[in-house]
Amino acid sequence: MVSFFKKFLNKLFRNLFSKKSHVKLGLYGPPNGGKSTLANRICLDWLGEEMSTVSHIAHETREINIKEQVNIKNKKGKELTFSLVDTPGIATKIDYEDFIKKGMKSNQAKKRAKEATKGVIDAIKWLDTMDSVVVVLDATKDPYSQVNITIIGNLQARNIPVLIAANKIDLKRANLERIKSAFPQYEVVGISAKYGKNVESFYENLFKLVK
C-alpha cells in the first residue's frame, strides 16, 4: 500500500513538473553499446555537430557529457527540447590489462582504468537526476547481463521512463527479438546509430518517452 502511494505521488510530481521547457535525457548502458555514437547521431541530426569521442576500446567515455538545448521535431511539427546526457558505460569489473591488450602502454592503461571506475560511480550517482532514460544495448550481445538488469531495475524503482535502444542492428549477429523477450515491459527500438538506420522510429519513440 505504501509503495502504491509512493508511486502515485512520484507520478503526480513528475506530471506537475514535466511542463518545464526541457528535460534531462540520459543515455545509459554497458560499455561499448554505442551510447556516444547515438549521442553523436542525435547531435549531428539536430545540431549539426558531434558531442563525444568514440572508440572500439571500452570506456572511451569516462566523464558525464552534457549537450544542452537539443531540439528535435517530429513529422507533425511537434517539438521536443532536452538536455542530452551521455554517461560512461556501467560495468562491474575494470582491468587495466585489458587496455594493454588493446595496445595501450601500461601507465596509460592504468590511468584509463582509474578514470573508468570513477566514471561508473558518476553514472550511477547521476541516475537520480534523470527525467527519462534511453538504455543503449548492443543487439549482438547477451541482454540478460546483470548490469543491464540492474540499470533497468534501478530506473524502474525510481519511476524514470525508459526506452531501450537495441543498437548495431546493421550487424548480422544482431538479435532484436532476444532483447524484446528479455525486457517485455519496455518499448524496444532497433537502430544503427553509426549508420542512422531506423533513427526516425527512434525519434518518434523519444516523443512518447518524454511526454
Partner 1 sequence: MVTFQFIPYTDIESLSSAKRINKILNIVKDNKIVILEGRLRKHEEADLIEITMEEINQRFKGIEISVIYPDKDKYAGLKRLKAGFINLLLGDRQGLTIIGPASIVKKIEQNPNHIELFTKETRKRKNR
Residue 177 binds to partner 1 (criterion: CB under 8 A): no
Phi, psi (degrees; rounded to nearest 5) at 92? -105, -10
Interface with partner 1 by CB under 8 A: which range of 26-34, 38-46, 120-128, 196-204? 120-128
**CB burial class (10 A; 0-12, 13-18, 19+) of residue 211?**
exposed
Nearer to partner 1, 83 or 117 (CB): 117
Residue 179 binds to partner 1 (criterion: CB under 8 A): no
**Cα distance between residue 135 and residue 151, in whole Å:** 8
DSSP state of 66: E
Judged by CB under 8 A, the residue of 121, 159, 200, 211 near partner 1 is: 121
**Cα distance between residue 1 and residue 109, in whole Å:** 50
State the minimum distance, in angstroms, from the CB of residue 126 to partner 1. Answer: 12
Alpha-carbon distances of 68 from 12, 43, 133, rounded to whole Å: 26, 10, 16
Alpha-carbon distances of 140 from 15, 16, 129, rounded to whole Å: 36, 39, 30
Judged by CB under 8 A, the residue of 81, 117, 140, 198 near partner 1 is: 117
User: Which 129-158 positions form the footprint of partner 1 (CB under 8 A)?
Assistant: 142, 144-147, 149-150, 153-154, 156-157
Binding residues for partner 1, rule: CB under 8 A, are 90-96, 110, 113, 117-118, 120-121, 124-125, 127, 142, 144-147, 149-150, 153-154, 156-157, 182, 185
